[in-house]
Each structure stands twice: as structure tokens, then as C-alpha cells.
Structure 1
């Protein structure tokens, strides 16, 4: 990095450029909070978290104005949703390993971890499909059905988003692009998965256990 040309003296001759900072040796990517993508992911999660909060608020509003809850339907079955929850919790360990090995820039282990996370993601999608079939209410049946499907649909959207990103990143790591900034991308992807798992916890309690307690 060089400074701009100095103001020419009275004679008209230009002074030579002076080096302020040699940026050639600076890294082109970083990890964690030192990466702009990490902050973008954090902002994305914060905005989406507010969307979840608004949807949960709408759920409680419907409970308040109706009193009798759930409306014209039994509470959803617990089997598929609980199995889905257990698999999500189990995914935290390989997700942590992917983040750690990506930070170490270990290509072989990063590839392994991403393949595992891709498979887990596809399994979760299969479980979510089975889960949707055990709600005992259609999305257009009443207000209860609408808010139920909206909450699960909102979380499914985030699930699909992260799984798609993981599969694409996995494919890239098996090509000539599997180096440098891609390792930083693994950490950002893992960070977002933590948000997907954390956002499921209140929805699971609200959808499956709250009607039983109420």
C-alpha cells in the first residue's frame, strides 16, 4: 500500500511514492469474529430469530383468544418429533468437529465431517416429512392448524437452507476449490447450524408439549 503523490514543489517535480504498508503477506480470509461472513451470519440469525419470536407470539395470541387449545384436534404425536430432536442434538458433535477441523485446515477430516453432516441433514429431512404426517390437523383446517404448520414450515425452511449449503460446501471440498477460504466457510456453516438446532428447542416444546400441559 502506498501513499498518494505528494504536492509538487514550486519547480513542478513530483516527489517519489513512499510505502506505508506492505499488504502482500496479509491473509485473504479469517475465522470466527475476525471474518465479515461470520458477522453476516450472526445478523442473519438475529433477524430470523426475531421471525421465530413473532411466530411464537402469534401462537400464544391464538391460545389466549381461544382458551380451548388445541382446536378440534388432538395434540401431535411425539414419536417422530422426539426422534427428530434426538438426531438434531446428536448432530452437534460432528458439527463441532467440522468447525474444529476446518479451523485446523485438515482437508481429509473436514471432508469426512461434511459428509457426515450432509447425511444427517438428509435424515432429518426424512424425519420432518414423517413428522408433518403426524400432526392430526391440516394447515387450512383452523387457526391452530395454520400456526402449527407455519412454525414447522419456518423451521423446515432454515433446515433446508443449511443442508443445501452443507451439501454444496461438501462438493466443493472434493474439488480444486477445497482450500483457503473454504475452510473458513465450514466454520460459518457450523455456526449457522447451531442456530438451527437452538431455534428448534422452543418450537418443539411449544408444538408438542404445551398442548399437553395446557
Structure 2
């Protein structure tokens, strides 16, 4: 009886991890110097960004070339899926840390600082409640409301999840026009979301006196929404690459994990925003 074995592609050693390490060193080192007023900081920071972009284009381009060359089998595809799953799990833990900080401040720390002997010994006259900048902050501010731009952005992101699912449906049924149109609309909705968030930040700084240094409320608000905006930016870049690959004729109804990975990431970003809207804006 003849046994058949699935081929398993073993890539050659890559130089790109070294470039990635150098990029992260320059990126973090430059950011640190920039924040501390060292003149070379911005140059080192943007050099790190440039090296990182070079690494991403080179490494992912190599993977795309190998995938389109038919070198990847079922086992490699499965390893990619596990890797993307663990990456998204790490992102879940990243946001869990910031949600945990918000929970600790809002539910535990602020009430504790405003009750009993604590308020007499540490911050006399401090009244707990949320939103608050915390004790020691006297500058008044207006908290962000849920209705208006936040609610509109929620509708936009939910719609983008629907258009992306529509694009995926088109790919699975070999409808290339539907795939491209769905991706394009999703990207445009993501860019609209980012534009409205930038406008919201400008409004908060100029008219609400809500700043990054507005105590615990300001810091948790900008860290949570800002990092989410960064993830929307990364997701839009990923989908733009997928659109370019779709235009180039990549992906088939049975083999399109690169596209699936981008959709997983985008849907994760959607879910995080729903939690943000509920916890940061609405409650």
C-alpha cells in the first residue's frame, strides 16, 4: 500500500527579524529621547519607523510570494491560523490591562479616596464620583458624551464589519467585483471613523478642556480611545494591502488566509470599540 505525504515547506533563515529588532530599538529609543527634549529624538524615532516599514514590506512580501507560488500546504496554513489567533489574544490582553485600570480607578480607587478617614487624611473635601479628574485637580472639564460623534462612529464601525463580511462572502463565491467593492467601502468607513475621532479630539482639547493630563479620567479616556484608533489605522492598512492583492488577482475561494487574518483583526477592533462605547462613553 502506497502512502502519500503532504509537503511541508520549510523557509530559509530570514534576515528580517534583525531589522525588526533594530527598528523597535530605534523607535522606542527615539520616542524616549523625544519626550525628554533631546534634539536627535525625532530623527531616531522616524528612522525606526522607516526601518520597520522596510521590514514589513520585505518580510510580508516574501510570504506573499511564497504563498502565491504554491509552497504552502495545509499544515503551514494551520500554523498561520494559530499564530494569528495568539496574536489577537495578545491584543485582547493589551486592552484588558487598560480596561482593568479604568475599572480599578472608577470602582475602587476613587470611592476609597473620598470616604472615611482617607478623605480626612489625604484629600479633604474630595467628593468621589465619575467622571472625575481625581483629587488634587481643580481645573474644570466637560466629560465626553456618548451621543453625537461617538454614536455615529459606532454605527460606522458596525457598518464596516457588515461590508467586510459582504466582501468575504463575495470571495468565497468567486465574485471578485463584490470582494473589491466591499473592501474599498470598508476602508473608506475606517478612514471616516479616524477622521471623526481626530475632530472629536480637537473639540475635546479646545472646547471641553478634556486633555491627556486631565487626571485619571483624561488619561484613561485618551489611552483607551487612542490605542483603539491606532488599531483601526493598522487594520485599514491591512485591508488596503488586501485590496491591492485582490486587484492583482490573489486569493481563491478555497485559499485566502491573508484576507481572513485581516478580517479577524478588523472584527476584533469592532468588538473593542463596542466595549469602549459602553464603558467609556455611555456608562
Q: TM-score, normalised by structure 2?
A: 0.59
Q: How many angstroms apart in 2 are the aligned matches of 1:182 and 1:114? A: 17
Q: Which has the higher contact order (CA 8 A, sep 6+)?
A: 1
User: What CA distance in whole angstroms lies between the structure 2 residues aligned with 1:73 and 1:120?
Assistant: 31
Comparing 160-169 with 126-135, greater Cα deviation is found at 126-135
Match of 2:129 in 1: 68
Give the conservation status (yes or no) of the 8 Å contact 2:6–2:73.
no
| 2:95 is the alignment partner of 1:52 | yes
Q: Is the 8 A contact 1:111 1:173 kept in 2?
A: yes
Moved more, 96-105 or 52-61: 96-105
* Secondary structure, aligned partner of 1:158: helix
Asked whether the 8 Å contact 1:102–1:110 carries over to 2, the reply is yes
The aligned residue for residue 271 of structure 2 is 198
Aligned to 1:91: 160
Change (3 A) 1:35 1:109: farther
State the secondary structure of the residue aligned to 1:133.
helix
Higher helix share goes to which structure? 2
Partner of 1:107: 176
**Unmatched tracts of structure 2, length 5 or more:** 8-69, 111-127, 133-139
| Residues 80-122 of structure 1, C-alpha deviations (whole Å, 9 max, x = no match) | 1110001111122211112222233432321121111111111
8 Å CA contact 1:105, 1:183 repeated in 2: no
1:166 aligns with 2:239: yes
> Unaligned stretches of 5+ in structure 1?
1-17
CA distance in 1, matches of 2:166, 2:81: 18
Residue 281 of structure 2: aligned partner = 208
Call closer, same or farther: CA 1:97–1:207 in 2, change over 3 Å.
same
Using the size of structure 1 for normalisation, the TM-score is: 0.77
Map of 2:197 onto structure 1: 128
Q: Number of aligned pairs?
A: 188
Work out which of the residue numbers 200, 208, 215 in structure 2 matches 1:142. Answer: 215
Q: Deviations over 1:100-157 (max 9, x none)?
A: 2223343232112111111111111112212223443110232221111000111112
**Matched-pair contact (CA < 8 Å) for 2:228–2:273:** yes
Distance 1:51 1:198, change over 3 A: same
1:72-83, aligned counterparts within 5 Å? 72-77=140-145, 78-83=147-152
Shift, 1:39, TM fit = 2.4
**Contact 1:98/1:190 (<8 A) preserved:** no
